[in-house]
Copies of this chain bind each other. A is one copy, B any other.
């Protein structure tokens, strides 16, 4: 081989490598976070960055097929002329990631045993990976969010209900039926109030936005004086914000409502610390906007009730990705599946 030929080969090799790297960088996945109210879409690259995103109200007319038709059209719109290697979709309800079927979704009327993966792949011609929405959020936070530097992380999502997701040794743990991580239905007081699930004293019965709203309404009905200002007509829907505003003004009752929720979350955290010895416990969802009013009692209760060694290991933090955790995580799980296959 002449030197000239050798040089040419070398240059070609370099150019090919660059091309491969550029292609790798351009690998995009569509993340979808399907909720009962909104459906979020995001084009996510391999670094976990959202390139473009959009939110649409979930179309609940026409049953599952109507919803999926809308989703397919909205997905095509967002993808445009880009090339997408896969679609990751987080769904709110019991499902099978292996079979790609949603068994039921309490917030999506008529959704029973829907083969979402098959239907959406037919409509879009792109491989679809299904995941539970809380698991997707946990994977998002682990991948590029609060947990990006740890190997084991437990996520609690604090909203209307309390959900969870589990990442151990760098792997999402879902269990054989994808139902693992129902951390909101960990019973912390078997003599406690009845939870939406029918059991008594689940964490969710103390620490969801719903539970806090009920505590406020009950307190006011019992004659407790408070600065909590419930906007007219929002008696059954007002959020943590109203309680927060009052707490910030020094309202004793508002502070106590947060303290009780924080205490319950701290008991749940202590349990998770003693069970998992995790590096991090991460909290997402609107309720976390209450900040130290909740995190203060949470941390104190966790460290008082867990063993010292694992308690000092576990960082207790707020999630970093906000409302995007679900779609980023769903995309990440789909990209990972793509990488593995």
Contact = CB atoms under 8 A, between A and B. Distances in A.
A307 interface: yes
Contact of A313 (B171, B176, B190, B275): B176
A177 B274 contact: no
Interface string A168-189: 1101011111111111011111
B309 A199 contact: no
A189 B186 contact: no
A191 B173 CA distance: 31
A45 interface: no
By size class, the interface of chain A is 35 or more
A141 interface: no
Contacts of A94: 307, 309
B177 A313 contact: yes
A152 interface: yes
A277 B179 contact: yes
Nearest to A199: B305
B270 A199 contact: yes
A271 interface: yes
B176 A189 contact: no
Contact of A187 (B166, B179, B188, B310): B188
B152 A267 contact: no
A146 B267 CA distance: 32
Nearest to A166: B275
A279 B176 contact: yes
Nearest to A305: B199
A157 to B, nearest CB: 15
A188 B263 CA distance: 14
A23 interface: no
A201 interface: yes
13 contacts: A152-B175, A176-B277, A177-B309, A179-B277, A179-B307, A180-B276, A180-B277, A180-B310, A183-B274, A187-B188, A189-B201, A190-B263, A271-B271
Given A179-B277, A179-B307, 12 more contacts: A173-B276, A175-B313, A179-B309, A180-B275, A182-B275, A182-B307, A185-B306, A187-B188, A189-B201, A190-B267, A197-B307, A199-B305
Interface of A: 94, 103, 151-152, 166, 168-169, 171, 173-183, 185-191, 197, 199, 201, 263-264, 267, 270-271, 274-279, 304-307, 309-310, 313
